[in-house]
Structure 1
Amino acid sequence: MPPVAAPSAALTAVAPAPTRLWTPKRVLVTRSAAERPYGQYVLGRLEQAGVEDVELLQGDRLPNLRGDGDRAAFMLAKNTMALVVPPASLRRLQPIAPSADWRFDLAQGCPAHCSYCYLAGSLSGPPITRVYADLDEALTGLDAYVGRGSVTSGTAERGGEGTTFEASCYTDPLALEHLTGGLARAITRFGTAEWSGPVQLRATTKFDDVASLLDLPHGGRTRLRFSVNAASVARRFEAATSPVPGRLAALGAVAAAGYPVGVTIAPIMPVDGWQQEYGDLLDAIAAVLPPGTDLTVECITHRFTPGSKATLTEWYPRSRLEMDEGQRTTKRGKFGAVKHVYPKETMAELRGWFQDAVAARLPGAHLLYWT
């Protein structure tokens, strides 16, 4: 399958100045990671970024970062990046419905401080950010998965997306890009490699540093999506992220560079005046997009589990995020997992409004799913 030429619109794309760049206070590098070519590349970028505390470990085990469960230990972990080689089991890809056929991890962990963080219920141990040094080998192994998915590839509804690989299931790759260059590496591979069928790389972010991505030979095979929310929700619950206006400016820039793009509106909350706030958000999205933009919309309502509530309450004890089981409906997965979602009536009202509002304010968009 020959690469697709990048649209000429890339010549006019202008990146916004980044509003937030994360600098880890400490970087731990395992022996095997330091031996990999990509690991050495990341070490060079860390030096260029002025990261001073970089510790090369003698083996492949990270030191104990759990501490005593106090606030200081949590903050130390959140400010630590580890460059590691993941276990082989991680490279046996798993489906990630409803987003994509396959979960493809560039990293695990995120430097942001969203007080509803979904990773709190998904990952165990101290919340350090692990960057995977086997990226080059992992990228070359993806062709074996082409045409084998069930979320997009081969489906009537989303088959046009090809075989999809989600790169932001357990991380925000753009939050790390100035340190790792991993997202650019993946985008270039997807855009220029010979694949056995149609493919698409997918990545979601709450950051806005897209300058290094605009001139890449993406070939239209990467969909960059920006996670956005109502102004009051973002202001109260999305600390240490780029402001929503910055994310929208970045959305407009990558769309002008010819990328397929998307917005992930999440987590949707029925705050006071939510129709006005989310209506303003949809209007702001429409205002930054060039005519003819290939745009998708994903809508995800707020939910939590008993485990995520316990972790988030420990991480962010002063947060005023509503996690009252008495105001929610309990859903159980097929293996008995408990999830607390909004009541049926609230969900129906939200869904009906968003379906109508997206169709009216973003008429060219494709609403992928509601959950």
Structure 2
Amino acid sequence: MVVTQQAREQARARTLLDVRRLWVEPGALDTDRGRQVRDRFPDAELIEVASHWNIPELHGNAGNLQRWVRVKSEDLVVGTKKSIATRPNGRSADFIAPSTANGCAMACVYCYVPRRKGYANPITVFTNIERIVAHLRRHVAKQGPKPGPNQCDPTAWVYDLGENSDCSVDAMISDNVTDLIATFRELPTAKASFATKYVNRSLLDADPQGRTRIRFSLMPHADARQLDVRTTPIAGRIAAVDDFVAAGYEVHLNFSPVVVRPGWIPDWAELLIQLDDQLSSAFKQQAACEVIFLTHNEGLHAVNLGWHPRAEDVLWRPDLQERKVSENGQHNVRYDRATKSRAVATLTGLIAEHAPWLPVRYAF
């Protein structure tokens, strides 16, 4: 029996979200979007909570460490977005849009999102989408036309939609993501953008008309097998690129995180050669990439030792890393200046050699 790529993706989706409990804020189900979420998971147990930010059974609960993946699969929080604001950015996007979800059903071991609510941090979906869309329309209108090109885009204001979640997975829970794609389709001075590690082919029907940029996150296959837990395999992400271009998306690549470990240079060269061989000229004509080297976290390092210690062999490298206190007071580690400088030069050189059609928007 031949198993098709589509069949593999459908099976992966069934295991990714096996929602058995809905943790619900007051009023969160009393909206059209809330009722839609409930209808998608009709057999899930309803558990009332005062706030999506404070659920002791889920957040900060060290007892969940051995249930890390089960919590992400079986629990879904349903809330409303209280603070609706857009923030300046300047790297991947001009602005960070207010989130329509946070948390993730995937379990990438380097992900910073678990730091926000602690431990497994399953998805929280916000059901007051109308307020978020109305805010974005006002914000875009206030900006007017973009005065000139920058590294985000030559003509459009770019709004990042998924700062603390993965929109491809969020789109399996509700129509929030497709509503946002439809909104930006009607905004000629702006476009949406999100990075993803998951192929959700239902988004091929969203008709973005060039106003949504999807950034497929890629890394060498060996890294993904160890670090990108519960994601679409790298081969599947690469196979989806041309399909999303044909469906009207602007498609870029996100090389993130780049992990410095034995053998990383030939593995990145192999990946770049694969991209050059397999991807179409239609993609290459509109392609760009961003390069982000690993930043790790002391707290996450301790958590990973409890459920996936092998990953820490390559993520936690005191011989190559230096400490950095982030703006929110987190104690992070990043590659020291000399290591980072050499690595950035090496990888950008590999891109120039093996994928000269791929502009690097930024590398850090």
Name the residue aligned to 1:164.
158
Mapped to 2, the partners of 1:120 and 1:75 lie a distance apart of 12
| TM-score, normalised by the number of residues in structure 2 | 0.84
Name the residue aligned to 1:358.
351
Relative contact order, CA 8 A, sep 6+: which one is greater? 1
Q: Does 1:144 align with 2:174?
A: no
SS for the counterpart of 1:41 is helix
Change (3 A) 1:244 1:331: same
Cα deviation 1:74-131 (Å, max 9, x = unaligned): 45532311121122x2x11223342222222121001112121221334447512101
Q: Does 1:28 align with 2:6?
A: no
Name the residue aligned to 1:12.
none
Q: How is 1:316-355 mapped onto 2 (pairs within 5 angstroms)?
A: 316-317=308-309, 319=311, 320-332=313-325, 338-355=331-348
Asked if structure 1 preserves the Cα contact closer than 8 Å seen for 2:261 and 2:314, the reply is no
2:133 maps to amino acid: L
Name the residue aligned to 1:57.
48
Asked if structure 1 preserves the Cα contact closer than 8 Å seen for 2:207 and 2:247, the reply is no
Mapped to 2, the partners of 1:76 and 1:292 lie a distance apart of 40
Name the residue aligned to 2:287.
295
| TM-score, normalised by the number of residues in structure 1 | 0.82
Asked if structure 1 preserves the Cα contact closer than 8 Å seen for 2:256 and 2:293, the reply is yes
Mapped to 2, the partners of 1:54 and 1:186 lie a distance apart of 29
Mapped to 2, the partners of 1:58 and 1:352 lie a distance apart of 50
Asked if structure 1 preserves the Cα contact closer than 8 Å seen for 2:101 and 2:164, the reply is yes
SS for the counterpart of 1:325 is coil
Deviation at 1:162, TM superposition (A): 1.7
Change (3 A) 1:64 1:330: closer
Equivalent in 71, 80, 87 of residue 94 of structure 1: 87
Q: 5+ unaligned residues in a row in structure 2: which ranges?
A: none
1:200 maps to amino acid: K
Mapped to 2, the partners of 1:167 and 1:128 lie a distance apart of 18
Q: Does 1:207 align with 2:173?
A: no
Q: How is 1:1-371 mapped onto 2 (pairs within 5 angstroms)?
A: 16-17=6-7, 18=9, 20-21=12-13, 22-23=16-17, 24-47=19-42, 52-55=43-46, 57=48, 63-66=55-58, 69-70=62-63, 71-72=65-66, 74-75=68-69, 77-79=71-73, 80-87=75-82, 89=83, 91-104=84-97, 105-124=99-118, 127-146=121-140, 154=148, 156-191=150-185, 193=186, 195=187, 198-210=189-201, 212-293=202-283, 294-314=286-306, 316-317=308-309, 319=311, 320-332=313-325, 338-371=331-364
Aligned residues: 345
Asked if structure 1 preserves the Cα contact closer than 8 Å seen for 2:72 and 2:122, the reply is yes
Change (3 A) 1:217 1:280: same
Mapped to 2, the partners of 1:236 and 1:58 lie a distance apart of 35
Deviates more, 1:153-162 or 1:235-244: 153-162
Mapped to 1, the partners of 2:68 and 2:225 lie a distance apart of 22
1:365 maps to amino acid: L
Mapped to 2, the partners of 1:156 and 1:207 lie a distance apart of 28
Mapped to 2, the partners of 1:318 and 1:334 lie a distance apart of 29
Deviation at 1:26, TM superposition (A): 2.2
Mapped to 2, the partners of 1:240 and 1:143 lie a distance apart of 34
Change (3 A) 1:86 1:120: same
Change (3 A) 1:342 1:59: closer
1:239 maps to amino acid: V
SS for the counterpart of 1:115 is coil
Asked if structure 1 preserves the Cα contact closer than 8 Å seen for 2:110 and 2:315, the reply is no
Mapped to 1, the partners of 2:49 and 2:337 lie a distance apart of 54
Report the aligned-residue RMSD: 2.8
Asked if structure 2 preserves the Cα contact closer than 8 Å seen for 1:153 and 1:159, the reply is no
Change (3 A) 1:232 1:126: closer
Change (3 A) 1:99 1:335: same
Change (3 A) 1:69 1:308: closer
